[in-house]
């Protein structure tokens, strides 16, 4: 196979997996590229230069860690697991040590999954909607742009495309959508009622339709409704999705319309876990068999249960696998559960018994496969051209050593 082509560098900071423009990180072409995100976290390659990771390859450390795992009476594998490689390792670890596994903050994903398992739906991928959709409806609030700053630019194909913003959007956000090239209509509505609102707006048909919203939808050839479970301020996200999906499925009997449920980086874990075990996560392994219960095996509930008794807490163990650059969540730091952290940050170690196995950074020191937010494209984040410093271990390297 001819390998002489230019492979893109890909940003792994959010699930949009943007290809980075040609040139070095100092290139002026990066100006304005994801500036909002960049304010929160320095651009990854730059950050790497300022990070001096301590790397312990000491067998004694591994032995200590293995002992701790073997002594634990209950184990939760959790964390921010963003790559296929880390997900595989985390699942293997959970399988080997009969642990429970659920990534942190998975409520949004599981609400979307619950709805899919009950009703199904009609969805569209980002590239399809970009090329084909003449009307976008985006439901949510500014958080969508904070998490995925370049989303509007990835959605717009050039030429005239209409976009309806439903929810609570600041003027600054509206300006970003406009800057991407959309003709924007922003309606400040309570997100809770959106599925009902959409179905009412289209019920009367084009000749009798009273609202601007209804007219836009009825005129459109192909409508895409984009939302993200983690940027949805509603009481019951799963029921909200049920309603929306039912309406979309029915409407497709005569017209073309689809949803685009935008996932976070953690969707890579759910995908990987689904193909390996048949379940998207929230499973407990017993005797090499996976038992799925989205209501019983949620990470936060597990921690709450363990933390309720001092004795129990000390005998349990949280195996935290981290592909992000973030600190450990505060709510976890406060809890009295011993932790083993496999990730790039030492974090604020709460328990004196906490252990840390330091890793390099995904996409910088080790390559990784991660899903785009629509879960259609699995992007390979390469490390070529970034000087691939081989002495940094990845989470899967560490797990491989532990399992050996």
Residue in the block written with tokens 């880390």: 86
Nearest CB to ligand SF4, comparing residues 83 and 115: 83
d(CA 91, CA 273): 7
Residue 73 near other proteins by CB under 8 A: no
Residue 373 near ligand SF4 by CB under 6 A: no
According to DSSP, the residues that pair with 10 across neighbouring strands are 19
Question: Nearest distance from residue 65's CB to other proteins, in Å?
Answer: 25
Stretch that binds other proteins, among 31-39, 61-69, 117-125, 233-241 (CB under 8 A): 117-125
Note whether 21 and 29 are within 8 A (CB): yes
Six-digit token pair at 307? 């933390």
Sign of CA dihedral 374, 377, 381, 385: negative
Nearest CB to other proteins, comparing residues 224 and 306: 224
Residue 150 near ligand SF4 by CB under 6 A: yes
Question: Nearest distance from residue 282's CB to other proteins, in Å?
Answer: 10
Residue 131 near other proteins by CB under 8 A: yes
Residue 404 near other proteins by CB under 8 A: no
Residues touching ligand SF4, count (CB under 6 A): 11
According to DSSP, the residues that pair with 226 across neighbouring strands are 138, 260
Residue in the block written with tokens 């900071």: 13
Q: What is the x/- site pattern for other proteins, positions 84-103, by CB under 8 A? A: x---x---------------
For residue 172, the Cα-to-chain-centroid distance in whole angstroms is 24
Nearest CB to ligand SF4, comparing residues 137 and 144: 144
d(CA 368, CA 12): 9
Residue in the block written with tokens 């009609």: 122
Six-digit token pair at 386? 């970034």
Six-digit token pair at 217? 């939808």
Residues touching other proteins, count (CB under 8 A): 58
d(CA 233, CA 231): 6
Stretch that binds other proteins, among 31-39, 40-48, 109-117, 193-201 (CB under 8 A): 109-117
Q: What is the x/- site pattern for other proteins, positions 45-64, by CB under 8 A? A: --------------------
Q: Which of 16, 109, 113, 317 forms a contact with ligand SF4 (CB under 6 A)?
A: 16
| Residue 379 backbone dihedrals phi, psi, to 5 degrees | -95, 140
| Residue 103 backbone dihedrals phi, psi, to 5 degrees | -65, 155
Q: Which of 255, 308, 309, 400 forms a contact with other proteins (CB under 8 A)?
A: 255
d(CA 272, CA 355): 27
Q: Which of 26, 30, 34, 93 forms a contact with ligand SF4 (CB under 6 A)?
A: 34
Q: Which of 105, 107, 128, 134 forms a contact with other proteins (CB under 8 A)?
A: 128
Helices (H), 252-356: 267-277, 299-307, 310-315, 330-333
Q: What is the x/- site pattern for other proteins, positions 266-305, by CB under 8 A? A: -----x--xxxxxxx-----------x-------------
Q: Which of 45, 79, 103, 149 forms a contact with ligand SF4 (CB under 6 A)?
A: 149
Residue in the block written with tokens 């070529």: 384
Nearest CB to other proteins, comparing residues 128 and 142: 128
Helices (H), 180-265: 194-203, 212-219, 237-251
Q: In the chain, what is the straight-line distance between the N-terminal and C-terminal CA atoms, in Å?
A: 34
Question: Nearest distance from residue 168's CB to ligand SF4, in Å?
Answer: 21
Residues of the shown chain interacting with ligand SF4 in the complex, contacts defined by CB under 6 A? 11, 13-14, 16-18, 34, 37, 148-150
């Amino acid at each position: 196979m001819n390998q002489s082509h230019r492979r893109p560098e890909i940003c792994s900071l959010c699930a949009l997996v943007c290809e980075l423009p040609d040139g070095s990180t100092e290139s002026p072409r990066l100006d304005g590229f994801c500036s909002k995100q960049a304010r929160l976290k320095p651009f990854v390659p730059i950050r790497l230069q300022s990070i001096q990771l301590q790397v312990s390859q000491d067998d004694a450390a591994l032995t200590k860690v293995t002992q701790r795992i073997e002594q634990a009476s209950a184990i939760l594998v959790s964390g921010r697991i963003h790559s296929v490689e880390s997900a595989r390792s985390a699942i293997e670890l959970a399988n080997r040590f009969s642990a429970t596994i659920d990534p942190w903050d998975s409520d949004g994903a599981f609400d979307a999954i619950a709805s899919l398992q009950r009703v199904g739906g009609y969805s569209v991928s980002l590239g399809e909607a970009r090329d084909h959709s003449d009307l976008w409806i985006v439901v949510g609030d500014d958080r969508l742009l904070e998490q995925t700053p370049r989303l509007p630019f990835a959605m717009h194909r050039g030429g005239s495309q209409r976009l309806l913003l439903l929810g609570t959007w600041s003027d600054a956000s509206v300006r970003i959508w406009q800057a991407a090239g959309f003709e924007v209509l922003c309606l400040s509505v309570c997100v809770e009622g959106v599925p009902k609102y959409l179905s009412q707006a289209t019920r009367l048909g084009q000749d009798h339709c009273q609202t601007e919203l209804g007219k836009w939808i009825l005129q459109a050839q192909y409508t895409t409704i984009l939302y993200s479970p983690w940027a949805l301020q509603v009481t019951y996200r799963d029921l909200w999705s049920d309603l929306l999906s039912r309406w979309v499925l029915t409407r497709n009997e005569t017209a073309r319309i689809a949803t685009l449920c935008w996932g976070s980086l953690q969707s890579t874990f759910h995908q990987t876990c689904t193909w390996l075990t048949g379940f998207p996560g929230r499973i407990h392994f017993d005797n090499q068999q996976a038992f799925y219960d989205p209501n019983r095996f949620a990470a936060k509930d597990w921690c709450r249960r363990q933390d309720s008794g001092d004795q129990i807490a000390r005998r349990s163990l949280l195996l935290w696998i981290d592909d992000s650059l973030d600190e450990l969540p505060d709510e976890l730091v406060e809890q009295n559960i011993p932790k083993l952290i496999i990730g790039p940050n030492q974090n604020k170690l709460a328990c004196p018994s906490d252990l840390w196995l330091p890793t390099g950074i995904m996409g910088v020191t080790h390559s990784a496969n991660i899903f785009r937010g629509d879960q259609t494209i699995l992007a390979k984040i390469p490390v070529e051209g970034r000087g691939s410093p081989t002495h940094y271990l990845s989470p899967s390297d560490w797990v491989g050593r532990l399992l050996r």
